[in-house]
Amino acid sequence: MIARKSKHVYIGSAGLYRGGERKDAMTPGMPTIDAAPSESDAPGGVRQRDAANTRQCLLQAARRRFAHDGYAATTVRDIATDAGVNVALINRYFTSKEGLFEACLTRAVEELDRPIPESDTVELMLQTMLRHLAELPSGEHPLGLLLLLRSSGDESAERIRRNTFRHFAERLAAAAGWRPDDAETEHLMLRAQIALSVGFGIVLLRTTSGLEALSSASAGDLAGPLGDVFAALLEPAPDARP
Amino acid sequence: MIARKSKHVYIGSAGLYRGGERKDAMTPGMPTIDAAPSESDAPGGVRQRDAANTRQCLLQAARRRFAHDGYAATTVRDIATDAGVNVALINRYFTSKEGLFEACLTRAVEELDRPIPESDTVELMLQTMLRHLAELPSGEHPLGLLLLLRSSGDESAERIRRNTFRHFAERLAAAAGWRPDDAETEHLMLRAQIALSVGFGIVLLRTTSGLEALSSASAGDLAGPLGDVFAALLEPAPDARP
DNA sequence: ATGCTATGTAAACAGTTGGCGACTTAGGCC
DNA sequence: GGCCTAAGTCGCCAACTGTTTACATAGCAT
């Protein structure tokens, strides 16, 4: 018995994925960014042309696949099918599979880094993390953090990843009082990185461990425990702690 | 320019991997389980036969590859080359790539579950986790936790993964006072799963994020912060916490 | 030695994958 | 209309991947 690659059909909480053999259902219509195929695209209809839209569709589909299955496990054909788009267009718009992944990563980093309220506090960073752990208003899980964990092996993508990690670690550490070259506060960097680990660990186990309580927890459910963790790690304790 | 699969050369902290083109250096000698090729295997020497040994070599090499690169990204030829063994032997001894992965997973679970001191305490679980986060006496990083995060997509392997997660979550939760079907202690399950996330998050970021402080931290360095986290999550706080 | 089996080797196979080049066509502009 | 370019399609390929098959041989019992 050969364990063939699973062409799984995702039925996420809010329809993360539509069925596998999208091609039959979609083409030749206009690629749609989200949810069910729009009513308007008749099966025999005319393929409309909209470069920006197809680009977005590809990005969206790629984000989901990459985040969920990892880089190596997803094929460009998977992505194209999900997006309801011809495979060759991936290379047209993103040069290569690596290019597409890098585009996903870049967009994810932008999303994660958007709210920079100048003065960081541990509390604010905690809320940002919470927002990216839990469900979006649209009902979809945020994929940015997850994407950051899916390495492609490509050098330039890897650099983006590492820079992002370092950037957030430093922001978090700084919010907790860490200052560069200050040996006195050096331990805070490690603690900030551990705090970061918590977030990534949660997002990973939420999506891949099958732990019921964790994967179904809402932002509100996580707020309490996660607040305790951040406080224990980064808030100066009453009794001095090396 | 085609982004070819990187046949990287691992030079781990304690020589996790030896160079990529092992075949030239190793064959035809006896496959060796660890470290540098033993002095005794002359290049023109006779290939010795030792099924148990080659099995172990394959397992070891597979563990490293799977844990480090993920299931999909590692090829059976990679593993065979690392182990200094013919590719076909993977299928002989483990039926398939999936079988080999499952064997790795099973062994990892055994290692993780070894010390069951009957009565679990949060403190003991913390120490167990610490032991699997930090370096082994041999100088190698423990790969068990990491392997648990690398899904193969195979149904039976996935079941092992999930059962292991659930098992440890319940052990940890129980150690903190959780009792099945006791709504009063239900919140402890979520907290235990978050505590688990911390461990997995750390092991993941230690190996893939390039965060210096974290990846070079010793068990002793982690003990303090991690102890704080576990305490904040699982030790009953003086002021009641829902 | 003779045979037998466990072990190991080499080559090939069938399916998949990412990428590319030649082609078609929609839609705007003159 | 005629033309042009961007957008999309189609078929192919070379490389790679997991697996199998046919073959070689070491070690051992007889």
Could you give the residue range(s) of every CATH 1.10.357 domain in chain A? 105-234
- The Cα–Cα gap between B71 and B96 comes to 13
Q: Does domain B105-234 have CATH number 1.10.357?
A: yes
Contact: A214, B190; criterion CB under 8 Å = yes
Residue B209 host element (H or E): none
> What pLDDT, on a 0 to 100 scale, did the predictor assign at position B212?
95
Contacts of A5 in chain B (CB under 8 A): 153
Residue A169 host element (H or E): helix A155-175
Give the nucleotide nearest to B91 (CA→C1'). Answer: D19
Q: A22-94: which CATH topology?
A: Arc Repressor Mutant, subunit A (1.10.10)
The closest of A202, A201, A197, A178 to A188, measured between CA atoms, is: A178
Report helix, strand or coil for B24. Answer: helix
Could you give the residue range(s) of every CATH 1.10.10.60 domain in chain B? 22-94
- The Cα–Cα gap between A60 and A82 comes to 9
Task: Say which of A69, A71, A197 has its CB closest to residue B201.
Answer: A197
- The Cα–Cα gap between A180 and A190 comes to 13
Task: Give how far Cα A138 sits from Cα of A126, A135, A141, B124, Å.
Answer: 21, 8, 9, 42
Of B200, B215, B222, which to mutate for an interface test with A (greatest number of A Cβ within 10 Å)? B200
Task: Say which of A98, A194, A211 has its CB closest to residue B193.
Answer: A211
Tell me the per-residue pLDDT of B129-160, one tens digit each, with 9 for 90 and over.
999 998 776 777 889 999 999 999 999 999 99
Share of residues in chain A with pLDDT > 90 (%) = 67
* A201 and B178 Cβ atoms separated by less than 8 Å: no
Residue B45 CA, nucleotide C11 C1', distance (Å): 24
Residue at shortest CA–C1' distance from D25: B47
Asked if B193 has any chain A CB less than 8 Å from its own CB, the reply is yes
Report helix, strand or coil for B95. Answer: coil
- The Cα–Cα gap between A148 and A207 comes to 14
Mean pLDDT of A23-43: 49
The yes-or-no verdict on residue A75 having pLDDT over 90 is yes
> Which region holds residue B8: left if phi is over 0, alpha if psi is between -120 and 50, else beta?
beta
- The Cα–Cα gap between B19 and B9 comes to 5
Enumerate residues 6+ apart whose C-beta is below 8 A from A26: A32, A37, A41, A84
Task: Say which of A73, A200, A228 has its CB closest to residue B153.
Answer: A73
State the pLDDT confidence band at A237, using cuts at 50, 70 and 90: low
> What pLDDT, on a 0 to 100 scale, did the predictor assign at position B239?
55
Give the nucleotide nearest to A78 (CA→C1'). Answer: C17
Share of residues in chain B with pLDDT > 70 (%) = 76
* B30 and B57 Cβ atoms separated by less than 8 Å: no
Contact: B200, A204; criterion CB under 8 Å = yes
